[in-house]
């Protein structure tokens, strides 16, 4: 990861969900490298190792808290322990199948983790964020903008996040800023099941002709969470290498 440009987050505490891998883990590293104390939240126990890496590499305060973001009691316990300046709602799941192959359990779980989890986190931390002049950054997706086969539940959850971001920004400004980062094809563990040929096609569909890296999305999250984005709220910042701006036609 490139050296961060500053210590923009010195003295601030960030809570990051979905932090055991991918964009969440990269965000924990980025914010810690810029001076933040970080709380890594995830249902996966691998978050323990990520927190240890953050402490070792950046000398930062980093703690892992294992809980399910769809569990309201987990949020209640966390907010009782942590005064956050930044909440990064990044947790998500992706069960790739068309509508007729989705069952109700899968549909409900997508919305519970990606959308309801963000709502519960915002509701828990908003009182403190209002007092501290903090902000929320949500990880959405280009699936919220463009229909892609076999992702109905994922897309519905991400589209709901974009709407939730606008709503929170309107209701809680000027005290709290709320923005979303909208990644395109970024090489995370979710891509492990994607065959090499399909990865190549996805990369070729971007203007930059490559897949993104989690660290590149983390840099955008750090920007939105910093005072450098002080006049941004209710925004959806697309980070997709130009994937969404051009499509080949017959």
Separation CA 165–CA 167 (nearest Å): 5
> 91 in a domain, yes or no?
yes
CB neighbours of residue 109 within 10 Å: 16
Separation CA 131–CA 103 (nearest Å): 42
Please name which of 78, 7, 21 lies closest in space to residue 53, comparing C-alpha atoms.
21
Query: Which domain does 225 fall in, by range?
Result: 13-186+213-240
> 232 in a domain, yes or no?
yes
> 199 in a domain, yes or no?
no
> 44 in a domain, yes or no?
yes
**DSSP state for residue 2 in the 8-state scheme:** P
* Residue 129: CATH number of its domain: 3.40.50.720
pLDDT along the chain (250 residues), means of 10: 72 98 98 98 97 97 97 97 97 88 90 97 98 98 88 93 98 98 90 82 92 97 98 98 80
> 179 in a domain, yes or no?
yes
pLDDT value, residue 3:
54
172 catalytic residue (yes or no): no
> 197 in a domain, yes or no?
no
Q: Which three-class secondary structure string do you get for 82-141?
A: CCCCEEEECCCCCCCCCHHHCCHHHHHHHHHHHHHHHHHHHHHHHHHHHHHCCEEEEECC
pLDDT value, residue 192:
76
Q: What is the token pair recorded at 44?
A: 């996966």
| Segment holding 16, helix H or strand E | strand 13-17
For the entire predicted model, the pTM comes to 0.94
> 249 in a domain, yes or no?
no
Helix, strand, or coil (residue 42): strand
Question: Which residue is catalytic, options 125, 154, 172, 243?
Answer: 154
Dihedral sign of CA atoms 6, 10, 14, 18 in order:
positive
> 206 in a domain, yes or no?
no
Structural domains of the chain, count: 1
Dmax (CA) of the chain: 57
Contact 126, 164 (CB under 8 A): no
């Amino acid at each position: 990861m490139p050296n961060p440009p500053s210590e923009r987050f010195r003295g601030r505490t960030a809570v990051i969900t979905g932090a055991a891998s991918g964009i969440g883990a990269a965000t924990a590293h980025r914010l810690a490298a810029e001076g933040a104390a970080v709380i890594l939240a995830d249902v996966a126990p691998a978050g323990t190792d990520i927190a240890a890496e953050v402490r070792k590499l950046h000398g930062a305060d980093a703690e892992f808290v294992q809980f399910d973001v769809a569990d309201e009691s987990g949020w209640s316990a966390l907010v009782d322990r942590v005064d956050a300046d930044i909440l990064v709602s990044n947790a998500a799941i992706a069960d790739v199948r068309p509508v007729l192959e989705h069952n109700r359990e899968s549909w409900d779980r997508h919305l519970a983790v990606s959308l309801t989890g963000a709502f519960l986190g915002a509701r828990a931390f908003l009182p403190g964020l209002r007092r501290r002049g903090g902000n929320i950054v949500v990880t959405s997706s280009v699936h919220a903008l463009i229909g892609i086969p076999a992702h109905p539940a994922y897309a519905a959850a991400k589209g709901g996040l974009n709407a939730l971001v606008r709503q929170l920004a309107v209701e809680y400004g000027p005290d709290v800023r709320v923005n979303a980062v909208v990644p395109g094809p970024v090489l995370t563990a979710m891509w492990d099941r994607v065959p090499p040929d399909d990865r190549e096609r996805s990369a070729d569909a971007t203007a930059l002709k490559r897949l993104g890296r989690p660290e590149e999305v983390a840099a955008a999250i750090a920007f939105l969470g910093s005072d450098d984005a002080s006049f941004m709220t209710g925004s959806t910042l697309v980070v997709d290498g130009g994937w969404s701006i051009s499509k080949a036609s017959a």
